[in-house]
Structure 1
């Protein structure tokens, strides 16, 4: 299969990665919400703790975080692949490096999970990594909008066959 045979898919492929990443950014904030609820549950006492336990926040946080890990890695690979299909090269720049940083941070954060039960400092590192990850991901989303705008302007200025 050569790149020319994918020409019909190019307009759709260009937007699959950005849409996926915006959905994942929303999922990241939901995961943050669940993590905050886990912390509230751990620190609560008495009746409030019993009520919070019913929310099963720890299980949900772990499950959604696991899905987020898998999708962010696949989304990053997809973004790099689509860039290569569309331009014949991988564009080396801040957006790529930030995306690779996000993949590294989410992987490191997930790797800490088994050690969080016994060490509070590991939990704090997990939280810190995720705060940095969210900031980087927000910036990544903004630079992605600029890239999409460039793609749209190129599509609008290219002659139609």
Structure 2
């Protein structure tokens, strides 16, 4: 069975991955903001602490982290699938390898959640470190992704 994908779908499908990844990058910065608020809440005292607790930053951070984990893995797979469908192969290079590394990093960072909930400081510090590395890679991925997108557009 040979399922032929229409050319117009092949062309426009190439834009799904970059658009969604830019949205995920913005959500990542929001999750960072929430994480910073959690740290502020943890070290605050008195009325300031009461006020910060009302923001429920820990719940929101956990929700954004879960969303990021699910969507980052899904959108990365979509990007690889679209590349394969359009080219018959994946281009193994820095963009792909860094993206695969990002999926591993976000999975490891999320897996530390039960330990952090028990108050484990090394898990919390590792989570923070991994997510800073993740944001750095994500920023680089955004730039290299735009370069790839420009090449695709120039061939249209």
**Could you say which TM-score interval applies, normalised by the shorter chain?**
over 0.9
Aligned position for 2:151: 150
Runs of 4+ in structure 1 over 2 Å off: 1-8
Separation in 2 of the partners of 1:38 and 1:6? 48
Separation in 1 of the partners of 2:137 and 2:2? 35
* TM-score w.r.t. length of structure 1: 0.93
Aligned position for 1:95: 95
User: What's the secondary structure of 1:89's corresponding residue?
Assistant: coil
The reply on whether 1:78 has 2:89 as its aligned counterpart is: no
Bigger Cα displacement from structure 2, 134-143 vs 117-126: 117-126
Structure 1 residue ranges without an equivalent (≥5): 156-161
Q: CA RMSD in A?
A: 1.1
Assess, with a 3 A threshold, how the Cα gap between structure 1 residues 83 and 3 changes in structure 2: closer, same or farther: farther
* TM-score w.r.t. length of structure 2: 0.96
Separation in 2 of the partners of 1:153 and 1:4? 24
Structure 2 residue ranges without an equivalent (≥5): none
